[in-house]
Chains A and B, each alone.
Chain A
Amino acid sequence: MPLDREELLHAYRVMKTIRVFEERVHDEFATGEIEGFVHLYAGEEASAAGVMANLTRDDRIASTHRGHGHCIAKGVDVRGMMAEIYGRTTGVCHGKGGSMHIADLDEGMMGANGIVGGGPPLICGAALAAKVKGTRNVGVAFVGDGASNQGTTFESLNLATVWNLPAVFVAENNGYAEATSSRYSVGADSIADRAAGFGMPSVSVDGHDFFAVYEAAGEAISRARDGGGPSFVECRVNRYFGHFEGDAQTYRGPNEVEDLRANRDCIDLFRVAVTTSGDIAQADLDGIDSDVDTLIDSAVDEARSAPRPGANDLLTDVYVSY
């Protein structure tokens, strides 16, 4: 195993926290208590956990509209996240951002993003700041297969190479952009192959396999830290829920999700890997499961009883008073 026991347990805790968080948000959204647009990350946990296991608190990431998993893996407080999604003053953005703009700059998380392709240019900037300041930090931009078609993504890949930035671009290819398959929208055989056209190395990995992601991202991130410039990592993943909460998903094939859940679930695969290797006992993982359940329960309870922002909050964090 490339990771020690503590690191393995942490990786499991991260993935499990994301899963339970997302399943709970799915259920609570259905009650009508959570409002707005909510895009869930369940099914893709190994990507966030595998990438972020290589990052420090001072490294920066830019996420997407599907941002909860990236937040949790980067170390953003789960209670503050839940409160944000409920639109409460105790939320990480004091209720002003919501699910689609969840962010915590203190944890190096530069925001989920309502604009597809909004993140890659920002990460060029974060990487530039690290380079100018000489910190050895890196910036990681997450994009989906859909966002991989956006001009801002292509321009950022080029800029990162031209400026030799400590940046890594992670394309989470879950096969769909909303209701459109990447088989239709991506004009190349492989998203990873596109990177060559911008002069950077790339690799495509099975994003259900935490260890594959960890190693590929690790190599890219080390290269960036050492001044070797940007890289591109494609993680082939799947999303379990609809594009957003409320999506009937009639564009998906029959039993597509059931098959994935049964056979390619990243958390199940991780459990099997670490227990059969003998590194971790089932009981340790079960213990984490129950910690996580308790955490999410209390995050929801706290969020629900937290105050909603009011008139006094409307004109804060802005330079005008009208």
Chain B
Amino acid sequence: MARTITYQQAINEALDQEMGNDPSVILMGEDIVGGSGADGEMDAWGGPLGITKGLYPKYGDRVMDTPITESAFIGAAVGAAASGLRPVAELMFSDFMGVCFDQIYNQAAKFRYMFGGKAETPVVIRTMYGAGIRAAAQHSQSPYSIFTHVPGLKVVVPSNPYDAKGLLIQAIRDNDPVICFEHKSLYQTEGEVPEELYTLPFGEANVVREGGDVTIIALGLMVHRSLEAAETLAADGIECEVIDPRTTSPLDDETILESVESTGRVVIVDEASPRCSMATDISALIARDAFGSLEAPIQMVTPPHTPVPFAGSLEDLYVPDATKIETAVRQVAGYSR
């Protein structure tokens, strides 16, 4: 039975149900309980945004607060995964990846291949990404393409509650290391989510909206901005097909290419910095494999190549919005050789 819940509730429910289902699933992270060692309430935070609230009272020691020591606890999650557990570690902000990068990039990502297939590392790292809440340069980045670049890792970027639950359960059951990038502005968005456990396969894009004129490819929050633009454009007779790849590793090339073959016109919307990004990666894929279908140059809508600014007046200019997407689509739609 599906009911309407938030992205945040969907994630909490996925963790809850999979912990109930599999005793090898454990959670760790900074203040994912909150109150450890203090005189007041336990489970005081359930994570800084309350995503894991209620799980400590239910599962006790399987939900662990960590000291601020990302290198050690992310590494411990990796080592525990290679030793038979299925840890889900919460890295509060994806910007903190810098602190624990080695444990992900040189350790978790490489074990299976480097050890000749003898190691499995079923670790999940859940982390919050994205700009828009005035959190400034070190709490607002979208570094999923950095991890997409690393062989051995799987990378998930859910844009709605249904995907968030299904992809997270798949991530926990997956035997490779998976990083889930959750957009901080999506936690309160609602959608229909089945009550029961279900998984969504990796590498299967979601065609969020069908249309024959222009293909828009977008991830996470940008899916919503793209849909907004698509509605406005539809009123002017431009029909956009909006594709949400859902996972950047593995990437569903086929769905993207099929759509481009029918529209011939492409806009890629990416909240990450413009260089060496998912936008440039997908763009290269299309240029290589669908060159013959292209009727206009590929457009990319991204932030500028700067750190994320603090001031609201600057951040609003920084993050791609529906107007910028609309402009790019009109350019692409109106292009003729």
- Residues of chain A whose beta carbon lies under 8 Å from any beta carbon of chain B: 35-37, 87-88, 93, 95-98, 100-101, 113-117, 146-147, 149-152, 176-187, 248-254, 256, 308-311, 313-315, 318, 320, 322
A313–B304 CA distance with the chains assembled, in angstroms: 12
**Other A-B pairs beyond A151-B99, A318-B305, A318-B306, 6, CB < 8 Å:** A35-B133, A179-B38, A181-B35, A251-B44, A309-B311, A309-B314
Query: Contact partner of B71 among A151, A177, A249, A251, CB < 8 A?
Result: A151
Q: Which of B3-23 contact A (CB under 8 A)?
A: none
**Shortest distance between the CB of B61 and any CB in chain A (Å):** 13
- B69 within 8 Å of A by Cβ? yes
Number of interface residues of B (CB under 8 A): 45
Q: Verify A150–B69 contact, CB threshold 8 A.
A: yes
Q: Verify A311–B139 contact, CB threshold 8 A.
A: no
Among B41, B71, B96, the most chain A Cβ lie within 10 Å of the Cβ of B41
A36–B314 CA distance with the chains assembled, in angstroms: 13
A88–B312 CA distance with the chains assembled, in angstroms: 10
Q: Verify A95–B314 contact, CB threshold 8 A.
A: yes
Q: Which residues of B contact A182 (CB under 8 A)?
A: 37
Query: Contact partner of B317 among A101, A146, A314, CB < 8 A?
Result: A314
A186–B99 CA distance with the chains assembled, in angstroms: 19
A176–B67 CA distance with the chains assembled, in angstroms: 11
A122–B67 CA distance with the chains assembled, in angstroms: 22
- Residues of chain B whose beta carbon lies under 8 Å from any beta carbon of chain A: 30-31, 34-42, 44-45, 48, 65, 67-72, 95-96, 98-99, 133-139, 274, 304-307, 309-314, 317-318
What is the interface of chain A mostly: helix, strand, loop, or mixed? loop
* 9 closest cross-chain pairs (CB), A and B: A184-B37, A114-B138, A253-B39, A87-B311, A98-B310, A181-B37, A179-B34, A36-B134, A95-B311
Identity of the chain A residue whose Cβ is nearest the Cβ of B314 in the assembled complex: A309
A151–B305 CA distance with the chains assembled, in angstroms: 30
Q: Which residues of A contact B39 (CB under 8 A)?
A: 181, 251-253, 256
**Shortest distance between the CB of B51 and any CB in chain A (Å):** 14
Q: Verify B310–A101 contact, CB threshold 8 A.
A: yes
Q: Verify B36–A100 contact, CB threshold 8 A.
A: no
Q: Which residues of A contact B134 (CB under 8 A)?
A: 35-37, 87, 98
**Given A185-B67, A252-B39, A253-B40; A313-B314 close (CB under 8 Å):** yes
**Shortest distance between the CB of A154 and any CB in chain B (Å):** 9
Q: Verify A149–B69 contact, CB threshold 8 A.
A: yes
Q: Verify A314–B69 contact, CB threshold 8 A.
A: no
Query: Contact partner of A97 among B48, B65, B136, B306, CB < 8 A?
Result: B136
Q: Verify B35–A179 contact, CB threshold 8 A.
A: yes
Q: Can you give 24 A-B contacts (C-beta < 8 A)? A: A35-B133, A36-B134, A37-B136, A87-B310, A87-B313, A95-B309, A95-B311, A95-B313, A96-B137, A97-B137, A101-B136, A178-B30, A178-B34, A179-B44, A181-B36, A184-B38, A185-B68, A250-B40, A256-B39, A308-B313, A310-B313, A314-B304, A314-B317, A322-B304
